[in-house]
A and B are shown apart, each in its own frame.
Chain A
Amino acid sequence: MIKKPLAVLITSILLSPLAVANDDHTSIERMSVIGSKEDLIKSTGSVKLIDELELEKFEYDDIGRILATVPGVNIRQEDGYGLRPNIGFRGVTPERSKKINIMEDGVLIGPAPYSASAAYYFPNTTRMTAIEVTKGPSTIKYGPNTVAGTLNLISRQVPDSQESALDLGLGTDNYGKLHAYYGDTVGDFGFLLEGLHFKADGFKEIDGGGDTGFDKSDLMAKFNYRLDGDDYSQLFELKLSYGEETSDETYLGLTDADFSENPYRRYVSSQLDQMNWEHQQIQLTHHIEFSDFNATTRVYRNDFERDWFKVNEFISSQGGFVPTLQQILRDPTSEQNLPYYQTLTGDRDSTLREILVLSTNAREYYSQGMQIDFAWDLGLFGLENEIEGGIRFHEDQIERNHIEDNFFLRSGNLQSTGEATKPTSTNTENTEALSIYIQDTLQFEDLSLTLGVRGESIDGYYQNRAPGREQDFLKKTNKIWLPSISAYYELSKFSGIFGGVYSGFVPTSPAQAVEIKTEKSVNYELGYRYVNSGQEAEVIGFFTDYSNLKESCSVSAGCDTDVEFNAGEVDIYGIEATVSDTYKLNSQLSLPWSIVYTHTESEFKDTFYSDFTQWGLVNEGDGVPYLADDILSLSLGLTANNWQIFILASYSGEMKESAQTALTVDPGDPRDSALAGLKTQALTNVDLSGSYNLTSNSQLYAKIDNIFDTAKISSRRPFGARPTKSRQFQVGYKYRF
């Protein structure tokens, strides 16, 4: 047997659920997670790979900006930096990316993907070397959420030989980045050490002063050991990582009028708001590979702890009606709301009726388990079969220890009322899940047919830990099988049509009563793909037929804690298209370009009322919130041997803030969604970047994000309008040893 290069072997680990590594692919670059782009050609579903070269074009730290070049991705921006991204695929709610599977190196990386799917932790994309987006029938291999897709982030691999690099960046608002790694393989032992720190003072301005930025750090170490036999390759790898963030972030936005005057303003009442988190990961991987079979076993443990101290609401010591922050900011000048608005802005001192509540939503999470994925090429019944399968034992938990403190806002400063800290949510949600999947790709002449099924058995346990609430608990079990069928028909060596049907599913969290149904859908896609010598074109039509759409309302959406709601039947359908090519101007200069477009439509099939603040009074035919009809990105580059320039223009249409299309007329319905009839603003953003290779080892780069300094309302949730990122300049220097 030919001994495989380490990079190929690691690639096999990263893609092991995806395909059997082919010895013919020994030239596979190590950043690839799918084997090679050639493998994408015949994929029976929608898979997009963003490799390291692509990632380095713009040096983005924000996954939202990176995914602008991927069709079928809908994003709601929030803080501008992408600290806590909101990502959806094919029309699913982007809220805290809770309906997609987020993985790092093939392992679920959300804080507690089953028990509390809101991704308050998202890996730093700055240290990633590839990103893989899977939509459509291929999603059946991942879980628990199959309705939308999977985002797999690939961290740096242990190099074959000594390799190190340094990246220094500086920019607007005291942006700074220091990123370095060093790795080597000596004999059968390899290692990698990587560190990343970046920070900014923030582009928003708090009345009265103060930072609005962040400090983030990541450390990662990987150690591997190779133990090959005569007939197989084998690798053991240990991965250890630590991450932390301190960010002066808030949920408090602005009134529309204040936004028009200065979109980057922050009211003084948000002066103490701050998020702190820490994340640790340990992962042990074993990979063994024979000529026609490979298996990867991963044992993992992720711990995440966060405290977010932030203004949450007003209360009155005299009781009575107190408007929500959302109501105040939507109608700040009404007689009822004006005193509260003036208190928020510091124009008026608090009385006992305008006490600000700052909540500390402290949560501890863990996520651990073991998963085995295998791929096996074999002939069966006289046909070429490529069988893939896997099993995962997973447990995760969220422990909430939420507390609240009351403050007066007086003389432009928040002052404690002196009242004792009050516990609010004190509970635990835990899930133990067993997942299996198996799929077989049959090759018949020009037709590849893939049949698969995924099974999830989920045991959830909720316990209120507040004193005297021992009997407030719920244990529940949910089991489901999710079949999938897809096919690719090769029209020529360079093109083919593909399509598939599969079951979409999103489980409920352990605290939700059994009356809250899981989300289920039947998803369809049909597409055409052309790939030839750098020319790529793909167009896919998709249709998601929900028998029940479920949404969970977290604090970011305006709820006290995670509560889930059902909407019944909903249709979401659309088209996503990509065209890209590289035009050679001469032997020195090339002009790479791409166009990515997504059009999505949605409609509720029932008329109903929901307490879910993003729905309200819904009429049949209304569209789902936070889904732009049209998303377009145009990328153009000019590259030479030692320099390159890229420009990326992206457009995202306006989005409904609420499914309800308008507030009910006088006297109004108390069940109205507060943001009924409002939309986020359409955003056209243009980013420019360039780099120059000083030597074969060193590079200077510079970039401008949002060169026209466009400021639009990204969302009015949970409390008022917040802007997209302002214009940012950055310069940097890279050196590779």
Chain B
Amino acid sequence: MAKPFNSKLINLVLNSAAIGAIMGLVACGESSSSTQGALFSQAATKPTTPSNSFNQTLLLQSLTDNVIVPTYTKFAQLAVDQETAIGHYCDALTSQADDIDATQISAKQSWRDAMAVWQIAEVMQIGPLLDNNNDLRNKIYSWPNTSACALDQDVVLAEQADYDISTRTASRKGLDAIEYLLFNPNLDHSCTVFGTDPQGWNNRTDEDRTVARCGLAKIAATDLVSNIEALLTAWNGSENAQGYADILKNAGQQDSIFNNAQDAVNDVSDAIFYIEKFTKDAKLATPLGVFANDCGLAPCAENVESRFAYHSLQNIISNIQGLNMIFLGGETDAGIGFEDYLLDVGATDTAAKMRGDLTEVIEFALSLQSSLTDLLVQQPEQVQEVHDQLKDVTDNMKTDFIQRLALELPATSAGDND
């Protein structure tokens, strides 16, 4: 016989209440705990800034005022000189003047001078140069993302009155473009894919093509001046905007974009790892055949950085000199550089080794009397020696230097590619 309805209802309520109470006890949510290793990457706590009396702000001020801004400023003047020299060369070509050769030599030298300084700045890519996916840096120098064919196309386009280089992609302007236009002795276009070649180009006279290339070189030189001016403005500030120099020097202070000065120091540290990824690997290891190049795994002179101007070795030397300036705090050790930071935290061995290794590789590279192209063909062991000496520097940077200064290694340098 069925129980009365009310009795069943009461039982249902009792049952539900009992189970509900149990569920209520257990349904209190979630708990978790964890322990992690010192190298656990995704949650690695930032290294603790070493406890010492070193003032990172002074380091940032010194590097800004004595190294970075002066380098940019020096390059700005050389860019103006280059614009002038290329202008004279183009004028001579157009007017068929007698001094074509002399103005050409002068124009090429102006490029070499500017390039030597820009290669110092390459290890100082921080702040405005990196904005918008390295937009400004690539406008000034886009290597290795260059395109000879794109330049050939723009040489023809630049003959039109409405050509506006500011709207063109980075591979059609900057120091790499000017190198191709001034130094490439082959006046035929470089386009290999059907349909991309500039119409009728190879049928034009040598003189005509030389004038046309110089025309774009002149436009590119002017554009370069405006871009380096933009860089200087970004660092020095304007009426409406604080300069990045101030931002860097006041890192970690009130309203700073940096949490603390050490974070800004880490940005400078990231920048100097250019020396590993580009100088050691892309500019030395790749043409040597340590990494695959267009010749396979053999020395390949075609794959050097400045193959038209034969300036690759000078570029490498400038890169290392730039690193040395950051390390010393200037061209001499009068300023405050990373060496001072190392000494302050007691890493005297690391500081001494870095200074010694840097001096050794600079002196050795300067002692080489041929271009990198020729060395790769005739004395690749000499190039290998530069690479190996530079590897001593970068190995130290990736280990003792980073650890003693409690800096974070850039992700791109976490492994060892070679």
Contact = CB atoms under 8 A, between A and B. Distances in A.
Interface string A353-395: 1010000000000000000000000001111010000000000
Contact of A383 (B15, B30, B286): B15
Contact of A481 (B29, B144, B303): B29
A473 B40 contact: yes
B205 interface: no
A483 interface: yes
A347 B16 CA distance: 71
B7 A317 contact: no
A93 to B, nearest CB: 21
A474 B34 contact: yes
Given A352-B292, A472-B39, A318 B144 contact: yes
B11 A382 contact: yes
Contacts of A670: 132-133
Interface string B23-67: 100111111111111111111000000000000000000000000
B32 A476 contact: yes
B410 interface: no
Interface in A107-136: none
B24 to A, nearest CB: 8
A573 B293 CA distance: 54
A101 interface: no
Contact of B297 (A418, A475, A514, A518): A418
B14 A480 contact: no
Interface in A512-538: 512-516, 518, 520
B147 interface: yes
A442 B31 contact: no
Contact of B34 (A355, A514, A518): A514
Nearest to A320: B144
Interface string A452-477: 01010000001010000111111111
A380 B15 CA distance: 8
Contacts of B303: 317-318, 352
Given A417-B296, A471-B37, A513 B27 contact: no
Contact of B28 (A355, A481, A511, A520): A481
B26 A477 contact: no
Given A419-B292, A449-B16, A477 B144 contact: no
Contact of A479 (B15, B32, B39, B143): B32
B12 A513 contact: no
A481 B291 contact: no
Contacts of A480: 29-31
B7 A481 contact: no
B292 A417 contact: yes
A418 B15 contact: no
Interface string B188-210: 00001100000000000000000
Given A348-B193, A383-B11, A475-B36, A335 B23 contact: no
Contacts of B12: 383, 442, 444, 447, 449
A352 B33 contact: no
Interface in A294-353: 316-321, 335-336, 338, 342, 347-348, 351-353
B19 A475 contact: no
Highest count of chain B CB atoms <10 Å: which of A318, A417, A516 = A318
Contacts of A319: 144, 277-278, 281-282
B110 to A, nearest CB: 26
Interface residues of B, number: 58
Contacts of A515: 42-43
Contacts of B32: 476-479, 514, 518
Nearest to A473: B37
A154 to B, nearest CB: 31
A667 interface: yes
Contacts of A321: 133-134, 145
A408 B291 CA distance: 13
Interface in A644-670: 667, 670
B169 A335 contact: yes
A714 to B, nearest CB: 31
Contacts of A442: 12, 15-16
B173 to A, nearest CB: 13
B99 interface: no
B20 interface: yes
B182 to A, nearest CB: 22
- Interface residues on chain A, size class: 35 or more
Given A335-B150, A483-B23, A472 B15 contact: no
A74 interface: no
B27 A471 contact: no
B144 to A, nearest CB: 4
A406 B31 contact: no
A483 B25 CA distance: 10
B171 interface: yes
Interface string A253-270: 000000000000000000
A237 interface: no
A705 interface: no
Contact of A318 (B134, B147, B171, B286): B286
Interface in B255-297: 277-278, 281-282, 286, 291-294, 296-297
Given A449-B16, A453-B26, A342 B144 contact: no
A511 B42 contact: yes
Given A318-B286, A320-B144, A417-B292, A472 B37 contact: yes
Contact of B147 (A335, A469, A478): A335
A608 B23 CA distance: 35
A347 B194 CA distance: 10
A667 B22 CA distance: 58
Contacts of B30: 478-480, 518, 520
Contacts of B294: 351-352
Contacts of A24: none
Given A382-B7, A483-B27, A513-B40, A417 B133 contact: no
A470 B38 CA distance: 9
A503 interface: yes
Contacts of B18: 381
Given A320-B143, A383-B11, A355 B292 contact: yes
Contacts of B42: 511-513, 515-516, 563
B46 to A, nearest CB: 14
A520 B32 CA distance: 14
A511 B8 CA distance: 51
Q: Name the 6 nearest CB pairs between A and B, nearest first.
A: A513-B43, A417-B292, A476-B34, A318-B144, A471-B37, A472-B39
Given A381-B15, A471-B40, 16 more contacts: A318-B282, A319-B277, A321-B134, A336-B145, A342-B193, A382-B8, A442-B12, A451-B16, A464-B41, A474-B34, A474-B36, A475-B34, A480-B30, A511-B42, A513-B43, A518-B30
Interface of A: 316-321, 335-336, 338, 342, 347-348, 351-353, 355, 380-383, 385, 406, 408, 417-419, 440, 442, 444-445, 447, 449, 451, 453, 455, 462, 464, 469-483, 485, 503, 511-516, 518, 520, 563, 667, 670
19 contacts: A317-B291, A318-B144, A318-B282, A348-B193, A352-B294, A353-B144, A380-B15, A381-B15, A382-B7, A419-B292, A449-B12, A451-B16, A453-B22, A462-B40, A464-B41, A472-B41, A476-B35, A485-B23, A514-B43
